[in-house]
Amino acid sequence: MEIKTVGVVGAGQMGNGIAHVFAVSGYEVVLNDIDQGALDKALSQIHKNLDRQVSREKITEDERRAALARISTTLKLPDLGQTDLVIEAATERETVKVAIFEDLLPHLKPETILTSNTSSISITRLASRTDRPEKFMGFHFMNPVPVMQLVELIRGIATDQPTYEALHKVVESLGKTAATAEDFPAFIVNRILMPMINEAVYTLYEGVGSVKSIDESLKLGANHPMGPLELADFIGLDTCLAIMNVLHDGLADTKYRPCPLLTKYVEAGWLGRKTDRGFYDYRGDTPVPTR
């Protein structure tokens, strides 16, 4: 099956990035959200990111205009029904994702492939709640989507070979690299990354180092482009906590126990950059450590 049209559910940080890269690569994109404000913000962000690509000579002005013309937005989930591929990029909560797929199913073409951009939730379990588990896959983009080169492809237990091959071709058409992961909690990237971030929070919690010293140590001592606490703020502390809980529950190993300090920050609503406070306070001209 040739994929030409793509529906994206969720216009947040990941959804607008996914819409951006598909539109630049020639796909017609329908971007959906339940909030008009989120759609307006997403289009504004896509404009800004495309302008940045033009200024850096990654794309031409004509390509920018053409990409924007390929993106339409809607508040109505059924409007995605006639697309060839649906990518769910809603919040990292299984109940929300299941409800979206259940609402979509009556409106889908028989051949439409369903995917989830989940960073940790079982693809097999999500697929089992649809009418097409053989045409369901994990399609996990990295943040920020226009910049990061990797896409994790996760097959559920029922995913068929044609679906896998179709999505592998899609990843190549986007100019990105596919990494195939088995359907185990958090897949590859977050299975390795999140425990490192969680350990950095434990290091802060136990007073081994300050926010600044922990981040500087990993940047200068391990050559990481961002410190783990700075990265956690960028990802969103609520997302980090959700993934750690999936790892802890799914693998039943105490080494994945979320740090109580991470839980406390999320309880406070200090979720990182998106709320202007996390391990850093972003309300001034420069970020200031909160501990």
Is 20 among the residues known to form the active site?
Answer: no
Query: From the candidates 119, 120, 122, 198, which is the catalytic residue?
Result: 119
Mean pLDDT, range 214-243, rounded to an integer: 96
Is 119 among the residues known to form the active site?
Answer: yes
Q: 143 among the known binding-site residues?
A: yes
Q: Is the pLDDT of residue 177 over 80?
A: yes
Q: 198 among the known binding-site residues?
A: no
Q: 10 among the known binding-site residues?
A: yes
Q: 14 among the known binding-site residues?
A: yes
Query: From the candidates 116, 190, 198, 230, which is the catalytic residue?
Result: 190
User: Residue 1 — very low, low, confident or very high, per pLDDT cuts 50/70/90?
Assistant: confident
Digit-coded pLDDT (tens) for 233-291: 999 999 999 999 999 999 999 999 999 999 999 999 999 999 999 999 999 999 999 99
Mean pLDDT, range 142-151, rounded to an integer: 95
Is 198 among the residues known to form the active site?
Answer: no
Query: From the candidates 120, 152, 198, 230, which is the catalytic residue?
Result: 152
User: Residue 214 — very low, low, confident or very high, per pLDDT cuts 50/70/90?
Assistant: very high
Mean pLDDT, range 78-102, rounded to an integer: 95
Q: 127 among the known binding-site residues?
A: no
Is 140 among the residues known to form the active site?
Answer: yes
Mean pLDDT, range 195-224, rounded to an integer: 98
Q: 216 among the known binding-site residues?
A: no
Angle at 141 between CA 137 and CA 143, to 5 degrees: 155
In this predicted structure, what is the pLDDT of residue 265?
Answer: 98
pTM of the model: 0.90
Q: pLDDT above 90 covers what percent of the chain?
A: 97
In this predicted structure, what is the pLDDT of residue 120?
Answer: 87
Q: Say if residues 290 and 270 touch (Cβ distance below 8 Å).
A: yes
Query: From the candidates 88, 116, 140, 198, which is the catalytic residue?
Result: 140
Q: 81 among the known binding-site residues?
A: no
Domains observed in the chain:
5-182 (3.40.50.720), 191-289 (1.10.1040.10)
